Chain A
Amino acid sequence: MAVRSEVAEPVDDVPLHLREAEATGRSVTLKVWRGDPTGGELVSYEVPAQEGMVILDAVLWIQAHVDADLAVRWNCKAAKCGSCSAEINGFPRLMCKSRLDSFQGDITVTPMHTFPVIRDLVTDVSWNYEVNKQIPPFSPSEEDLKDPEPWRMQQEDVQRLTEFRKCIECFLCQDVCHVLRNHEQKDQYYGPRFMIRTATLEMHPKDSLDRRPMLKHKAGLGMCNITKCCYEVCPEHINITDNAIIPLKERVADEYFDPVRWAARKLTGDKRGRRPVRGMEDAPDQR
């Protein structure tokens, strides 16, 4: 493991609180993964510490003082943009929401394991955007489209969807999902983030599509075995499993695994009145 502790001349735009941190004399050792697609290693840095500092502060201090070429993706430093996802001591977290003083000893910062590294702490998450394109977007009915009046939604209908709309697309849930992380089955499961997105559409009172065929086949909903790690890592505390994945599993069970409901539909017709999404049944065998 390489060790770099030499401190370069501080640059002028170092934030005041980091300058104060240097003055306190306390420091922590940050082991940051440096590398690219060909390989890499953990590099140790001594970083001055101050109360209230988060991991992202420390990484930015390294960038400003020691290694200006350290690659890190960040934007808001307020846990709202979802850019600074990484693994801190092996656990997926936002760097801007992880305080230095909540860790003891050396702190290891590595890029998200589930996605390929571009450089240092930056990973290629483009697969998620491709998955997103697979999901048929919000599709109101012809009748609603012709309605000249503004649509009115009641509070209880909005509240249910608001939880899902809090998602900041940090992809920590995708990173921790063992189907994608340990079993590398990105071709068979869309992942928790996109179960949230599908739930937002499926539970929208004005949407007219039935995405259950997609969920069962192409999206691979059956690959999720309800281990709730996605919920554990979500920085927005969205109850991904209980409020999105399980309700979607129950909806798929309505359609495919419930002979009583099947018989009722045959007798009385499908009261949901949604148009099923076709062309999504060609995924590998996930039945």
Chain B
Amino acid sequence: MAEAAPSRPAVPTYTFEVVAATQAAGTRAKRFRGGIQNPYSRLPDWLYPTSIVVVFSLFIIYSGLVVLFETTGRFGPYLSPFFSPEVNVRLAGFLIPPALWVAWAPLTFRVTCYYYRKAYFRSFLLHPRSCAATDPEKRDYRGETRLWVFNNLHRFAFYATALQTLILIYDAVIAFTYQGAFHFGLGNVIMLVNVACLLGYTYGCHAWRHLVGGSTDCFSCHKARFRLWKGVTVLNANHALWAWVSMFTVWFTDIYIRLGAHGVLGGAAWL
């Protein structure tokens, strides 16, 4: 520490650009080199990004294998969410993987989702790894511009996914009939839970919240939109939770139906 305190420099007339330049001139306190103690979490700051990388990577690998190499998602009355709606197109005698016609919509929806953006920017790209973490200082960060500007297409992915969610409701209802008779099995419960979670995730989306009421400046002038906005806000408050839960229900539903389709589960009526 300096023995004598230096005299305060004269304060110049600042402009936005001048101040921005001086702020970057290396006059800041050195970074804290100890472990950053986030008062709102007792978990180590590497845990969140690591978990995201592991779980997302496993899901992406699983989804890729299913979409590219599986030709059916049907087990009795049940239809996998990866294959709904069923589209079978043959090109020169070869079946185009049916899930390709479907998977792009939820994939784009999740990639551009405001929650998933946080998750993958923090974990895969380390922007930042954790709040206040001592990441490398780089000036070439471009945020959601240039390549990542496609995130602004989130609303279009929402339109497609919202439609697909309605089709999944139809699938869940129609699965109660099999070979002309009423059917009830574990698969019905799994499909219903999956649809409920997907509805919670899809219709709690920020783009939907904006569309139903957030875009207006005057709630009192649009009472119906305001009520809708309040309802969506309830779901939106837990959007991250819905995102995680619905990802796992989609995953689990497909695994269940796939195991059944491959004969692993046998043919018991309660399935």
Contacts and interface: CB of A to CB of B under 8 A. Distances in A.
Contacts of A232: 38, 40, 131
B206 A246 contact: yes
Contacts of A108: 32, 34
B268 interface: no
Interface stretch (A9-17, A46-54, A57-65, A109-117): A109-117
Given A91-B37, A157-B219, A116 B6 contact: no
Interface in A107-128: 108, 110-111, 113-119, 123-124, 126-127
Interface in B82-137: 114, 117-118, 121-122, 127-128, 131-132, 134-137
Contacts of B143: 179, 189, 220, 222-225, 286
A257 B152 contact: yes
B155 interface: yes
B36 A257 contact: no
A182 interface: yes
Contacts, number: 216
Nearest to B154: A253
A250 B206 contact: yes
Nearest to A111: B29
Contacts of B221: 205
B215 A90 contact: no
A115 B23 CA distance: 6
Interface in B128-176: 128, 131-132, 134-139, 141-146, 148-149, 152-155
A33 to B, nearest CB: 5
Contacts of B17: 187
Interface string B10-53: 01001111011111110111111011111110000000000000
Contact of A127 (B20, B29, B40, B138): B20
**Closest 4 pairs (CB-CB, A-B):** A154-B220, A223-B143, A90-B32, A229-B131
For B20, B25, B29, B144, the residue with the greatest tally of chain A CB atoms inside 10 Å of its CB is B29
A87 B32 CA distance: 9
Nearest to B33: A90
Given A89-B34, A183-B138, A225-B143, A156 B2 contact: no
Contact of B31 (A37, A113, A225): A113
Interface size class of B (residues with CB under 8 A): 35 or more
A12 to B, nearest CB: 25
A210 B1 CA distance: 50
B131 A253 contact: no
Contacts of B15: 130
B148 A36 contact: no
Interface of A: 2, 33-41, 43, 69, 87-93, 98, 102-103, 108, 110-111, 113-119, 123-124, 126-127, 130-131, 133-134, 153-154, 156-157, 160, 176, 178-179, 181-187, 189, 202-205, 207, 220, 222-229, 232-233, 241-242, 246-247, 249-254, 256-258, 272, 285-287
Nearest to B217: A205
A116 B28 contact: yes
Given A127-B16, A225-B143, 10 more contacts: A33-B29, A39-B2, A88-B37, A116-B22, A182-B141, A226-B144, A228-B118, A247-B214, A253-B152, A286-B142
B207 interface: yes
A253 B131 CA distance: 27
Contact of A229 (B1, B30, B128, B215): B128
A36 B215 contact: no
Contacts of A153: 220
Given A89-B34, A258-B155, A113 B122 contact: no
Nearest to B128: A178
B26 to A, nearest CB: 9
B24 A186 contact: yes
A204 B219 CA distance: 10
Majority-rule SS of B interface residues? loop
Nearest to A92: B132
Contacts of A250: 155, 206-207, 210, 214-215
B186 interface: no
B5 interface: yes
B153 A257 contact: yes
12 contacts: A35-B29, A87-B32, A90-B34, A91-B132, A156-B226, A178-B135, A182-B137, A185-B139, A223-B145, A242-B237, A257-B153, A286-B142
B17 to A, nearest CB: 6
A40 B134 CA distance: 19
A224 B148 CA distance: 11
Contacts of A182: 128, 135-138, 141
B90 to A, nearest CB: 33
Contacts of B135: 178, 182
B236 interface: yes
Contact of A204 (B122, B217, B226, B237): B217
Interface string B196-217: 0000000000110010001101
Contact of A91 (B121, B128, B131): B131
Given A222-B145, A226-B118, A37 B27 contact: yes
A123 to B, nearest CB: 8
